Structure 1
């Protein structure tokens, strides 16, 4: 048998779908005509015939196989039908057809409605000199196409081309008056062609990092190389309140710079505390409020009059200072309810405390106070106490300054004190003068004071419940990939705030750069029925599951936020939502970097506005950063991924992975074979001394929290099958003895103290640590005698210095002094604490002569 079928090529795709997808149906695949007997036909189907001897009752009812068509031979009748194999039928007709095309149809409802019939020819196997390809269409009688300018890309060029074409095709359109309907339609086509041309060019440009112009396009390109194009961050500062009665300041309370003019409906200057109802986002966009920079508090504050002014206790000294790097102070407060009686301040762990100079130590005048002598610290410990040498009752001198009275009997109440401590990272970088003596011998009390009632605030205005409607989107529409189109929202206000910490959460730590900032946004998708769905921002949706309520915010060139939801695989799309309510903040960048004493207004409940005396920010707002420019990112991104590797193959890789932890100051690593597998040996030197835990004697171990963080950092980069062993540094105690000659006119005790500070002080004036301070010494760093001499010789009052002894503590001399250096191994760290209780941590002896006693 020879193929004699003319398959309809337009149906080839439908035939392929029925073959590849089972259960979709069955149909005719081909028809073959016996070349020697045209009354015998073979009909092939796509799938197996129904089981049984009479599929679709064709055998018993052969007239259900219809042969239609024909020019000379018509009304061909089917005589018999037999099953040849599971997919083939043998059909016998009463006579053969002519050379025309016939249609064979199976009158069976179970078959595919399109493929139940097929065209064929009885004479397909007969030889012919004719080409089966259909003849080509005749040329267009209208003539050749006009010469087109392929460089035409704008409206004017397209309009010229269309006018030329119309003049050739329709010579009657000779009138080119702009009001003519034909010209209007022609210009409309030119306009759309201009828009399409721009879109084509823009698509080609945005496809590459070097040519992309849109910020969103650049951000997506950089994401492919794991580079985050940061959007800047808002500024933050601490705000102080002086109150006459307890006031609760909720998180999100608005604090403003000076309002340039009276509030609407008033003729006087705005008060310090403004009713919060007057500071709505809509009102803040109108004069005079539009001329102010708005901050919002990031956590709750309970302000109390006892936090207005806190005195730093001087312990009876005429001249008293907190040294540079101090982490402790003793405070007492005044109470309006108990005049002239000292009380304990209302401070707890985690509160902010301001230390500031309020008068000059030289003149005692407040106008001469140093405005830079201000520090905000966070309390880590508070302990009540007292000073039995002074009475709790105090008086005031002729200038109104507080004067403590000495306690003469045990029955009078002693001066109550509160010992407060803060972290070393918050410690003042220079001495804090508390009490001084003027040149005329008069004391200057309260040179520096402390203040509570501090709350953090950052730049931005919260806008809640903004109805954002997607444009040109419907959940029933078809997207480019067959499903619903991706949902996009555009926030109506700009610039979108990027802040430290999530929107709506209490934020008590605002430290971090623009790379740590997150968009201040959440979107509530409200369906017609059911529960609301709150979507929160993530950097990207690559790690989002199909049920995660995540969104991505991309900031365009105007600062507006473009919100993008998931597709059902990466993130859950809000397909059933009918309303989208956005909660977000606006205000970003350097516009919030206001100076000190700039924030002077606060919005509170009407009942609390009369309780606030003063609002001020003692320190300038800092941290406000503009978004990274696309050109800057183009320069850095291609090489940024080389800055650190996400695998630990070499020792340098492991050290870099550990040093990316802010709690690790230095580290060393080695990969060793332990007999069964390879193990990374990691030794880390912590940034915070509290991460070194005493385990007896002079030995210390890393804290459990730091060990866990190091293990987690190594787990992210180590190769499979490698273990990690985290160890503390191996400290080498130093025994050092110096002979120092004091210059004439300098006190030996003062010189001794200054030399010891130059070597061991954790923080010198200016924030620099001493030569042998823990923050200076690190793995493998030797102690050089020349460096030691230069440091001591630079101390005022030192005439000469000579090293008498230099060696490892409790070990014999190995020639270190003669060599001029004390070397250590790469895993060792020098240590010189000079603690008499723990000589095993280093000993310093200073022999001072010359000078004066």
Structure 2
């Protein structure tokens, strides 16, 4: 029955036909829509069994012959009620046709209706038809329904979910091709289809790698890149330690005369496990840029000590010693640099104040260890020893002149921890600072070359440009500028402390055939995070990993360079984007000077060396020998180098970061939280105080602090505490910084004086012992602000002990006390004077601030 046309077969039935079918339904009046006419393919009155007699028309049709129902349920009328159905003869251009005219009580809505004639003489396939009562209404739509044929189902390819690399992807594509195009058998590499499969396999391999890397770098436990670990750790306010460069003090030996050792000159230490470790004079690259120099002199190479006595006590510098005597006068004007503003011709010895020197002992007994100790000179006195009538070499002086000697002193914090025999000890005076790592300078530009720039400027490499966040104000993306620190990729980066890299960034410009610093340019500052920068701040930060050129090639005479993230080793300098930190404009030139690690492939901690390890003056492997520190004949580090710190290991970050926020909380809910955070975060807070009070509608937190070494909060400290409180308080919770509630007390003390002591002197001593100012090497006064904090009571026994221990006091006779604006004078006969938990006892005894407490002492001469 292929190609059977049922409509044509119905119309071509032999006469007389047996069945008919509905041709179409017409709405007679589009405005009225109550009358329908049904046209048939074959007139119903010509059938073998006519549905109506021709002569009888018009005549009513049999009841129930027609039904009309909405196919979609109808919005208002589901099945219109038929009030009349009549057979009629209708004139048409082709001649009269028999139609069934139907009248309904009310027209249908805009839904599609289906009219069905229930009669066996109407073919089942053509006994119903869809129509619309609104078919005559004007419409812009095509009335012909679209024919939507279902799409042919494509064969589902077999997916190998284990395919993750080039080979497995290529095999999967070959299997797919063999299954769907079996006629394709020539799988030669030059075939275009094979080439495309290999391209798809390579892309799949790369995408799989990217997915795996993204998945690994998204979690602290599996991240392998330093920038990923640092970013994840910052989410919990933890900063991994980048390490610190090792620094030391070197003893330089000079052949003759004096000279300046300039910051930046290099010396080396040799190690078996690593390349030579380089050290540069100075404390940072900023010293090198500033041209800082250190004066050294041959007379200061090794200066003998002068023992004052030949006894055991006189020959040795005892434990805790803070002074020593040197043979000869040092420094003298002839040993100092000419025209140096730091030299005082009237008092040349002041040149040594603040200078570092080393005491080095070389025992004659080989079983005893050599001792070294570094001190910083605080006092220099040039004098003579009238009992030693010898010259500086120990020979009798012909003129009988006494031996010139120099007394030097140093701070008690550097007191000798061991004894030194002065006959076997010498002072090394040419001590200069040094830091591990080599300083490197790199120059780059922002943006493309200008039209009139000199060649030396147009040839500079450009900072790498990437699109940043979307700027809603300008309707475009902000520009992110980066410059990878090239030398740090192999040798790392030096750090002065966890928040300060040994790096200087400055603006430069063409000049003198090269580049010179731009006068008056802004000082570019390093910030750990640019989130803390304002839009116009000249700030930059450092990212772990190096962004640099990945590949370079030429095409049609044009050099194409692709720059991207190259490796996780080293660091990259990143500028602000204009919202967080300034974005430098095109045409700006920069020079970045930074310090690398101690050697290629070495950690910052590898510069921790034993004493006398830094001894090489000439650059290892240089031919001819290159000796930057040409004035020296020898160099060494008297003490071991121990302050180099390696960058924090990844495993340490994984352990500490999740716990850091618990150990150092940065949110305050309870009063105890405010107190604890203030005491931990602010060095000057001796003790913190906080109390929440109901202010009528909500709780308000009042925070205060007991400042160390002071009776009141200064404005800078108040602002610092206020900023901290705003950072840790809950959203919507008010918090204010208030002054501590000091309870100022007045004391009236009567004492009896021991025989032989003047009462006025004893009174002054008691006042000094109780309320005296802070002085070096003296104990704190009894009412020093650091002795009392929130809630501490004044104990009578402790007060009496402090008074009784004053020289000249025989006994305490009476103590009277008053709390200003709280109590009147009364006898202090209780064990203690108590204050509230948020109050602090204060007795300053300052005539300028009498409201801060006063002290009166009456001393009576004893019998």
When normalised by structure 1's length, the TM-score is 0.54
The answer to whether the 8 Å contact 1:322/1:432 transfers is: yes
Contact 1:540 1:552 in 2 (8 A): yes
**Distance between the aligned counterparts of 1:644 and 1:652, measured in 2?**
11
1:599 aligns with 2:586: no
Residue equivalent to 1:253 = 265
Quote how far apart the aligned CAs of 1:172 are. Answer: 3.5
Structure 2 distance, partners of 1:297, 1:345, is 23
Contact 2:279–2:434 (CA under 8 A) maintained in structure 1: no
Partners of 2:322 and 2:241 lie apart in 1 by 35
The question of whether the paired residues in 1 share the 8 Å contact of 2:493 and 2:501 is answered with yes
Q: Distance in 2 between matches of 1:234 and 1:608?
A: 21
Residue number in structure 2 paired with 1:714: 721
Q: Which residue of 2 aligns with 1:44?
A: none
How far the C-alpha of 1:448 sits from its partner, in A, is 2.7
Residues 1:461 and 2:438 aligned together: yes
For residue 485 of structure 2, what is the aligned residue in structure 1? 491
Instruction: Give the 3-state SS of the residue equivalent to 1:171 in structure 2.
Output: coil
- Aligned pair 1:621/2:669, yes or no? no
Q: 1:591 to 1:608 in 2, by over 3 A?
A: closer
Using the TM superposition, give the Cα deviation of residue 240 of structure 1 relative to its aligned residue in structure 2, in angstroms. 1.0
Map 1:183-332 to 2 at 5 A.
Answer: 183-243=194-254, 244-258=256-270, 291-298=276-283, 299=287, 300-316=293-309, 318=311, 319-320=313-314, 321-332=316-327
Aligned partner of 2:383 in structure 1 is: 386
CA contact (8 A) 1:596 1:620 kept: yes
Superposition CA RMSD, Å = 5.8
Deviates more, 1:297-306 or 1:124-133: 124-133
Matches within 5 A, 1:650-799: 650=671, 653-654=674-675, 657-658=678-679, 660=681, 667-671=686-690, 682-683=705-706, 711=718, 713-718=720-725, 720-725=735-740
State whether residues 469 and 489 of structure 1, in contact with CA within 8 Å, keep that contact through their aligned partners in structure 2.
no
Residues 106-130 of structure 1 show CA distances to partners (whole Å, capped at 9, x for unaligned) of xxxxxxxxxxxxxxxx999747998
CA distance in 2, matches of 1:722, 1:160: 71
Alpha-carbon distance change, 145 to 520 in structure 1, aligned in 2, over 3 angstroms: same
What is the rounded CA distance, in whole Å, between the counterparts of 2:251 and 2:164 in structure 1?
61
Q: Secondary structure at the match of 1:596?
A: coil
For the pair 1:431 / 2:428, whether they are aligned, the reply is no
Deviation at 1:633, TM superposition (A): 1.2
Distance 1:652 1:659, change over 3 A: same
* Structure 2 Cα separation of the partners of residues 460 and 717 of structure 1: 37
The structure number with the bigger radius of gyration is 2
1:617 shift after superposition: 0.5
**Structure 1 position 337, deviation (Å):** 10
249 and 824 in structure 1: CA distance in 2 versus 1, 3 angstrom threshold: farther
Distance 2:791 2:714 in 1: 24
Supply the distance in 2 between the matched residues of 1:326 and 1:625 (Cα, whole angstroms): 31
Unaligned runs of 5+ in 2: 1-29, 32-133, 288-292, 335-346, 445-459, 546-566, 598-602, 620-624, 727-734, 748-775, 793-799, 805-810, 815-830, 843-855, 857-863
Between 655-664 and 449-458, report the one with greater CA deviation: 655-664
Mapping of residues 446-595 of structure 1, within 5 Å: 447-465=424-442, 469=461, 473=465, 482-483=476-477, 486-493=480-487, 494-495=489-490, 497-499=492-494, 501=496, 515-520=498-503, 522=505, 535-556=524-545, 558-577=568-587, 581-587=591-597, 588-595=603-610
- For 1:336 and 1:519, the matched residues in 2 are separated by 33
1:352 is aligned to 2:372: no
SS in 2 for 1:147: coil
Secondary structure of the residue aligned to 2:739 is strand
Superposed counterparts of 1:405-416, under 5 Å: 412=401, 415-416=404-405
Deviations 1:626-664 (A, max 9, x none): 211222212211221232344676357436534555678
Distance across 1 between alignment mates of 2:201 and 2:833: 80
Give, in whole Å, the separation in 1 of the partners of 2:206 and 2:282: 47
Alignment of 1:111-130 (within 5 A): 126=138
2: CA distance, partners of 1:323 / 1:154: 74
Report the alpha carbon displacement of residue 619 of structure 1 after superposing the two structures with TM.
0.9
Report the Cα offset of residue 569 of structure 1: 1.0
SS at match of 2:530: coil
- Partner Cα distance (1:310, 1:661) in 2: 45
Unaligned runs of 5+ in 1: 1-34, 37-121, 261-287, 397-401, 436-444, 502-513, 686-691, 693-700, 733-761, 764-768, 783-805, 815-821, 830-839, 841-853
Is the contact between residue 617 and residue 627 of structure 2 (CA under 8 Å) also seen in structure 1? no
**What TM-score comes out, normalization by structure 2 length?**
0.53
Map of 1:688 onto structure 2: none
Instruction: Please report how far the alpha carbon of residue 245 of structure 1 lies from its aligned counterpart in structure 2 after TM superposition.
Output: 1.6
Give the C-alpha shift of residue 828 in structure 1.
9.7
Q: Report the 3-state secondary structure (helix = DSSP H, G, I; strand = E; otherwise coil) of the residue aligned with 1:560.
A: strand
